[in-house]
Structure 1
Amino acid sequence: MSRLVFSRKPARFAAARLAGALMPGRGATVGPLSLEPDETLPLPTPEWLRLRPRLAGICGSDLALVDGTASAYFDPLVSYPFVPGHEVVADVVDEPGRRVVVIPVLHCAVRGVTPVCHECAAGRTNRCERIAFGHLEPGLQTGFCESTGGGWSTDMVAHPLQLVDVPAEFSDEAAVMIEPTACAVHAALQYDGSEAAIIGAGTVGLLTLAAIRATRDVTGPIIVTARYADQKRLAKELGADIVCAPDELPRWVRSATSSLLTGDQLTCGCRRVFDCVGSSDSIQQALRVVAPGGEV
């Protein structure tokens, strides 16, 4: 059996960036991602469990690795070589019939860090301050940590606190969407019903839109930016009031919120802006269209 491994090779990372600029995904042919024989990872402590991935998603952060566009900001929080794949549905090897999804965050309790950090003590494990410490190698989450492996393989390990059992009626294809959907639901819970902009109509953007419509009372228009025809169609089907090209967002926000212009800056804007792209350009655009006192 085989696994995909991402190694620290700066020259290949640069080559992937050049190739990916020509065609998305082409970085895989020249970059530091390689197909290697699978290895049996040691269990960090006896309580850890061995998993056999059934299906793993491909996140936007994974694509950024493949095409060499991932930010170097997170490099100290990653341990090489690592197996990508943090959206995972898997079988527990020593518990036949048990199918689980993985909560990828490698927080204090998972790392064996005591006492736990302030954020973990408050229940905000996604903000753990000890993600480079404990009995694991550094890593924000499973799929970026040498010690845990990832879903792009046939063998990985996980702490029991990371596992959620999958209902029998869920297909693997549905189960593998649980992790990105959970991210979208957390974002939707910050929505207050007023006008909102969702930047990006990829998986996370569309899931955020669906989560808002499913869980919140909507009073203001929801504006979604989309690049491709399928994204635009799905955004409308999922309840977007306005779907526009990314460069048209300021104009539509101005119209929806009755904003005036001061130079290039809107005098008002959307009360909530959801950046579902996470690039420097999308962050700048989010700050441009958010209302004074609003939230991104």
Structure 2
Amino acid sequence: MKALVANVGVKNEAWYRVKTKFLRNIESPAAISLELIQTAEPANPAPHWIKIRSIYSAISDFDEALFIRNDWLALSGFLSFPFVPGCENIGIITEIGQQVQGVELGERVVVNPVIACQARGITPLCDPCSSGNYSMCRNFWGPFPGPGMMIGACKNTSGGWADSFLAHESQVRTISRSVETDQMIMVPEFARALRAVLQHPPAPNDTIIMIGAGSLGLLTLMALNVLGYHNRILVLAEHSFEEDRARTAHPNVQVGFTHGRGTAFEFAGDFLKKKVHYVSPHRPTIAGGADLVYETTGIRDNVEDALYLAGEEKKVVVMGMKGFSNINMTAIMLRGIRVFGPSFSGTESQGKETFDIALEMALGKSLPITELVTHRFMIDQYREALTALENRAASKAIKAVFQHIV
């Protein structure tokens, strides 16, 4: 099969681990390389596992952190090299383990990527998995398929940037062939947005600031809207083309921009009707900032801004993963900011998994998520795909996906 493989040199990885463990040196390691190769399809030795032929695989913010920003330091404990990226996937079942139930060969599926206790056959479940917080599982280094938090970060499962990959039966959800592929490929990321809102909803009169109007930010606006949260929201976008999309995603949005140090705070001051304090050369701050901040980029400067845009003892929900090494945490200590990271799908209060709620909403709520897929590439065009996302001002990319020949 054709596969895009991510790897670091053995010497580079070994030296990095020595520096980290013994020298306490945590500078950025060598860049991860991507190589398009022909390789054997993944074996399917486990009775509850399924082999899937890739149809669509999105480029997630996790992938952007690794391959555009080279900020994999913070994520290195959740990877196993060499691995095939691709954690947001749609495919067709081509092989079924002996004890798999509920799915059939040839069915089309969307895949929940996290490989927690159930997928690894671990009983009893660890405490986080028992409470429905699967992305906090304590066994990401456990039994088959071995180290790696999820499909697209685990060397033994392959990932959606290859022709085939493996998934546990608990990770797949069958979808009708009549449903648009562009609609379904957004479900894994929509589940992350929905998880953040369900776990950290605004109170009726809360003022909200959302940093980022990329796909995760827009999906979070849609989640707030569909769940009936019509609070005033300031969206701090990076690019002008994102403004109309943000206004379409939620009816009560005001849009500002993050360009330049201090600009985000000027928009926030006007929105909150509060004074911005500038203490050169340090970050501005707002006395009594927003009640709730959703940070959807994971970029260090934006995360640090979020900590100063939130009001004293208020909440910041950090959702993005584009690269957040070496964040200054002073505001948490001095302003009592409460920081939360909802991560991927889990079990919600009604007993359903976030992923299933997201799938139901995507199918039945007429959400404009299909429009977020703006760029499509074949896997051998991966350099062009990553360049489009790196240069969004020119490409106007929101979500880019790889299409596979089936």
TM-score computed with the length of structure 1 as normaliser: 0.87
Mapped contact 2:218–2:246 kept (Cα < 8 A): yes
- Quick one: which of 158, 179, 184 aligns to 1:175? 184
Shift of 1:109: 1.1
Mapped contact 1:52–1:156 kept (Cα < 8 A): yes
Q: 2:132 and 2:209 mapped to 1: Cα distance?
A: 28
Q: 1:63 and 1:76 mapped to 2: Cα distance?
A: 17
Given the superposition, is the C-alpha separation of residues 287 and 11 from structure 1 closer, same or farther in structure 2, using an over 3 Å criterion? farther
Aligned to 1:113: 122
What does the per-residue CA deviation read over 1:266-288, in whole Å, with 9 as the maximum and x for residues that have no partner? 11111111111112211111101
Shift of 1:31: 5.8
1:40 aligns with 2:41: yes
Q: 1:234 and 1:228 mapped to 2: Cα distance?
A: 11
- Quick one: which of 195, 198, 212 aligns to 2:207? 195
1:1-296 aligned at under 5 Å gives the runs 1-9=1-9, 32-94=33-95, 95-189=104-198, 190-192=200-202, 193=204, 194-219=206-231, 221-239=232-250, 241-246=253-258, 247=260, 248-261=263-276, 263=279, 264-296=284-316
Q: 1:32 and 1:44 mapped to 2: Cα distance?
A: 28
What does the per-residue CA deviation read over 1:54-111, in whole Å, with 9 as the maximum and x for residues that have no partner? 1110112212222252231221321111000011001111333311111000111112
Q: 1:175 and 1:38 mapped to 2: Cα distance?
A: 28
Shift of 1:254: 2.2
Shift of 1:232: 1.6
Mapped contact 2:32–2:70 kept (Cα < 8 A): no
Shift of 1:44: 4.7
Root mean square deviation, CA, Å: 2.1
Given the superposition, is the C-alpha separation of residues 237 and 111 from structure 1 closer, same or farther in structure 2, using an over 3 Å criterion? same
Q: 2:305 and 2:94 mapped to 1: Cα distance?
A: 46
Structure 2 unaligned regions, length at least 5: 14-30, 96-103, 317-406
SS at match of 1:93: strand
Shift of 1:11: 9.5
Structure 1 unaligned regions, length at least 5: 14-29
TM-score computed with the length of structure 2 as normaliser: 0.65
Aligned to 1:22: none
Which amino acid is 1:214 matched to? V
Aligned residue-pair number: 279
SS at match of 1:210: helix
Shift of 1:260: 3.5
Shift of 1:230: 1.9
SS at match of 1:259: coil
Which amino acid is 2:82 matched to? P
SS at match of 1:229: coil
